[in-house]
Amino acid sequence: MPGFLYSQFFVRPSYPEQSFAEQTVLVTGANVGLGLEAARHVVRLGAARVILAVRNVPAGEEAKKDIEISTGRSGICEVWEVDLASYKSVVSFGDRITKLARLDAAILNAAVATSNFEVAEGFERTITVNVVNTLLLSLFVLPVLKATGKKIPKSQPRLTFVVSEVHAWVGLPEWKSDHILQTLSDQPTAKMGERYPLSKLLEVLLVQELAGRVRGSEVIINMINPGLCHSALGREGGWSFYLFKLVPARSTEVGSRTLVAGITSGLESHGAYMSDGHVENTALSPFVRSDEGRQARIKLWDEVSTILEGVRPGIMQNV
């Protein structure tokens, strides 16, 4: 908690200045909050094409207009529909991504935070959106990023996952069960008050494993913690969460700087956890860094891989 408060009150991530000239960038969850502000920075910094991946297309179109007005650049943003609660939607979106001639960077930011138990594609919805389908989407994106790196001289593709420091606030005793995600999707035992932090812990483990299987020289894969920010993520959190973040939360724009830092960082960030725009692997939870955490990571990867192969046979070969 002292580190959290110090970061919130005394650390201000650097304002993005690195050019995105000629680049194509994908941002999920780009119609509101951190995703919207990150996309705005990328457009401001000269990107040739920015794909706003959204569940709500009309809201995405409004976000596009807002970015165009604020940056004075039109014809750059495109609104593409994707619903991370649906395998069919992610596969359709992924197939569309594979047709891109160029993709230089992707920010996988879309997520849900709710205490309401709902099921999507056989798992509790937070798990489906923040974990299973986020990894599925990354596996569609990865080959296009790799191809861009080979095709475009001096390019360095990057894939950034937005995680959170709250991953360290929970444990994962369920990793010892026969089926981790099914166990977590059992409504009578699901601790929904801890569900968002838990989903981010699962995401951290999967990103670590993914990065370990991909050379950083091909694609830099990292994960970023934006800190506590004013954003749309906590809209289902109620008054208690609103009051909690009222004073310490960063503005949405300041928080979005950390997302842009993820897709402009160097090889030192490959497989790393970034906070305040810098690599800070020591901020990973003790569980993630433990032998037990490594065992859980491998088991989780194998389990999710089986699920994704059932959704799109052969998808794991994209790694």
Question: Which pair of tokens denotes residue 186?
Answer: 């059992």
Backbone angles phi, psi at 115, to 5 degrees: -100, 0
211, 221 contact by CB (below 8 A): yes
C-alpha span between 217 and 230 (Å, rounded): 35
Buried b (16+ CB within 10 A) or exposed e, 234-250: beeeeeeeeeebeeebb
**Chain position carrying tokens 């056989």:** 122
C-alpha span between 91 and 93 (Å, rounded): 5
90, 55 contact by CB (below 8 A): no
Which residues are known catalytic residues? 196, 200
Which of 206, 187, 175 has its CA nearest to residue 108? 206
**Chain position carrying tokens 């692997």:** 281
Percent helix, strand and coil across the chain, each to the nearest 5: 55, 15, 35
